[in-house]
Amino acid sequence: MIQMKKNCFLLILFSLITQWSMAQAPKWLDKSRRAVFSVITYGPDDNILNTGNGFFISEDGLALSDYTLFKGALRAVVVDCDGRQMQVSTIQGANSMYDVVKFRVATGGKKVAALPIATTGPVAEAIVYLLPYSTRKAATFTAGKVKEAASIGDNQYYYSLAMKLDDKMVSCPVMNEAGQVMGLAQKSSGKDAGEVCYAVGASYGRGLTVSALSVGDITLKSIGIKKGLPDTEEQALVYLYMSSSSMSAEEYEALLDDFIVRFPDSADGYVRRASNTIYRATDEASMDKVVADMDRALSVSRKKDDVHYNLAKLIYAYQLTAPEKVYKDWTYEKALSEVRTAAGMDPLPVYDQLEGDILFANKDYAGAFTCYEKVTKSNLASAAAFFSAAKAKEMAGGDISETVALMDSCIAYCSKPVTQDNAAYLLERARVYMEAKQYRQAMLDYDAYYDAVNAQVNDVFYYYREQACFHARQFQRALDDMNEAIGLNPEEVAYRAELAVVNIRVGRYEEAVKVLKDALAVDPEYSEAYRLMGIAQVQLKQQDEACANFARAKELGDLNVDSLIEKHCK
């Protein structure tokens, strides 16, 4: 009887506690529960990867959940309390240390119930409420208290809570008495797991962002879902630039589309999308999209000259591909018109540079030089500018000394000693010196190039330097360079012929004959070898052998042997 009375008392007590709990349910509970949802993430082959919880922090679909749930996911959906499914569209930030992720849900333009984020952290012993995900109409909650609020940065907190938490409650919102979300619930794995749980501050989660440098963020890269853009246009533009070399063409195209949706009044978005489209354009419809984007860029831009300049660059690049059928009026003349329009609005040296490039491509070398010369006299003067001017001057014809002077200015703008980055200019000046018959100067430039590239040269380099050394009467160096060339490419018989020429020049006729026999061992029908061998044999007084080799050279079509036959074999 006593035991029966005791059991009845306990039942009455539990009933009263339940009624008290329901009576103490916060007024905001029913409305707030609608912001909590279930999350399902999917991995490869669209198999379910994880399931968990999350909640909205803005009416346009921003939400928080735990990072672990999303790690490795290729897509995700949320299911609200009414059973409606919505796709996760973008990841907006993530932190693996505090196991939190911010993302955006595609709401179809409709507002969703969202939890206001607490502006101040609760004090110790303050009552908090955890709202689990539920499809039931009757709202439920778990009450607890704050044990500790540890600072994790600028007014951000990580909470220890006196509250029992099971696995199904992870990533549910922890609310204060005012109905504001203060944290994202995280379970404890320690010895006090049954009595204590944790929560990372909701304001910390809200503060997660995708920055300009997030392209290389390991945490974000571990999630296969598309990443959102940074909040500011400037940061988003840098993010576009950083992403262009690390994304597939399709991913980058989608990112450009997102940028334009996010920043519809930014001319840069339309220009970049046009630039991306033109390199993949396969038909007139694609080119029409390029033009439409550039027209839109021009309409929204506050700096019209920049858009005209970019259009000129696109047309110029398009023409360089030598299209079989030119799209509408996209000719060099159209490109010139656009860049000159830009220069008329703001006469920048970069516009002169592009005009010069277009004129050069269109074979108006004199006009190109005029433009390049302007650049060399501006704040954009550089080694590259003088190099362009030198090439245009040379192609236009005239005194080679003017081209030499321009190449001298080109090298003068390079850092000293010249590094590998600018080494190609040394090769070009060496070539120009050879044209101007300044052989010793050419040889010195080849030497400087050799040093600039740390001796990483090929057989062709040794051949070209040998030519400079030979004409500069540095015969031993010429012999050494040809031996190096042959060592790197022993199958090239022209190198052996050149080595023989040097040997003949210094009177080493027997060595020349040996070198030429080696050449004929590689190619028995190399006519020049027979002619040169004949020349060496004439000097060795081997007249019959020389004439036989001249005759063989003639049989093989050598056009330079007739005068030798006439002189030595009649």
169 Cβ contact partners less than 8 Å away, ≥ 6 residues apart: 53, 130, 132, 142, 185, 187
481 Cβ contact partners less than 8 Å away, ≥ 6 residues apart: 462, 463, 465, 466, 469
Place 482 in a pLDDT band, splitting at 50, 70 and 90: very high
Burial 321-342 (b: 16+ CB within 10 A, else e): eeeeeebeebebebbbbbbebb
Task: Decide which of 463 and 6 is more confident.
Answer: 463
Decide: helix, strand or coil at residue 186: strand
Decide: helix, strand or coil at residue 493: helix
Q: What does the pLDDT read at residue 17?
A: 37
Residue 109: how many CB atoms within 10 A of its CB? 7
Q: What does the pLDDT read at residue 544?
A: 92
Domain boundaries defined on the chain: 27-228, 249-347, 491-570
Task: For 491-570, give the CATH class.
Answer: mainly alpha
Residue 102: which of 184, 28, 158, 218 has the closest Cα?
184
Question: Residue 506 carries which DSSP code?
Answer: T
Residue 356: how many CB atoms within 10 A of its CB? 26
Q: What does the pLDDT read at residue 137?
A: 66
Q: pLDDT tens digits for 43-83?
A: 998 999 999 999 999 999 999 999 999 999 999 999 998 89
The values of phi and psi at residue 80, to 5°, are -80, 180
Distances (CA, A) of 386 to 232, 307, 392, 408, 420: 39, 27, 10, 9, 18
| Options 3.10.20.600, 2.40.10.120, 1.20.58.1910, 3.20.20.70; CATH of 27-228 | 2.40.10.120
CB distance 442 to 464 below 8 Å: no
The amino acid present at 268, given as its one-letter code, is D
Query: Distance between terminal CA atoms of the chain?
Result: 148
The values of phi and psi at residue 201, to 5°, are -55, 135
Find the farthest-apart pair of alpha carbons in the chain and give their distance in angstroms, rounded: 148
The amino acid present at 196, given as its one-letter code, is V
Place 181 in a pLDDT band, splitting at 50, 70 and 90: very high
Q: Please state the rounded mean pLDDT for residues 486-500.
A: 96
Burial 398-409 (b: 16+ CB within 10 A, else e): eebeebbebbeb
- What's the rounded Cα separation, in Å, for the pair 526 and 168? 85
Q: pTM higher than 0.75, yes or no?
A: yes
Q: pLDDT tens digits for 428-453?
A: 999 999 999 999 999 999 999 999 99
- What's the rounded Cα separation, in Å, for the pair 203 and 119? 8
Q: Please state the rounded mean pLDDT for residues 391-417.
A: 95
Place 194 in a pLDDT band, splitting at 50, 70 and 90: low
Please classify residue 169 by burial: count the beta carbons closer than 10 Å to its beta carbon, then call 0-12 exposed, 13-18 middle and 19+ buried: buried
Same fold, 27-228 and 249-347: no
Mean pLDDT of the chain: 91
Burial 522-559 (b: 16+ CB within 10 A, else e): eeeebbbbbbbbbbbbbeeebeebbbbbbebbbebebe
- What's the rounded Cα separation, in Å, for the pair 257 and 264? 10
Q: What does the pLDDT read at residue 188?
A: 75
Which helix (H) or strand (E) segment holds residue 102: the answer is strand 100-105
Q: pLDDT tens digits for 312-365?
A: 999 999 999 999 899 999 999 999 999 999 999 999 999 999 999 999 999 999
Residue 413: which of 432, 399, 429 has the closest Cα?
429
Q: What does the pLDDT read at residue 152?
A: 86
Q: pLDDT tens digits for 32-54?
A: 889 999 999 999 989 999 999 99
- What's the rounded Cα separation, in Å, for the pair 544 and 534? 9
Q: Which residue has the tokens 């506690």?
A: 17
| pLDDT above 60 (res 268) | yes
- What's the rounded Cα separation, in Å, for the pair 277 and 289? 8
- Per DSSP (E only), the strands in 353-445 are none
| pLDDT above 90 (res 112) | yes
- What would the CATH number be for the domain defined by 249-347? 1.25.40.10
Q: Please state the rounded mean pLDDT for residues 100-128.
A: 90
| pLDDT above 50 (res 136) | yes
- What's the rounded Cα separation, in Å, for the pair 520 and 245? 51
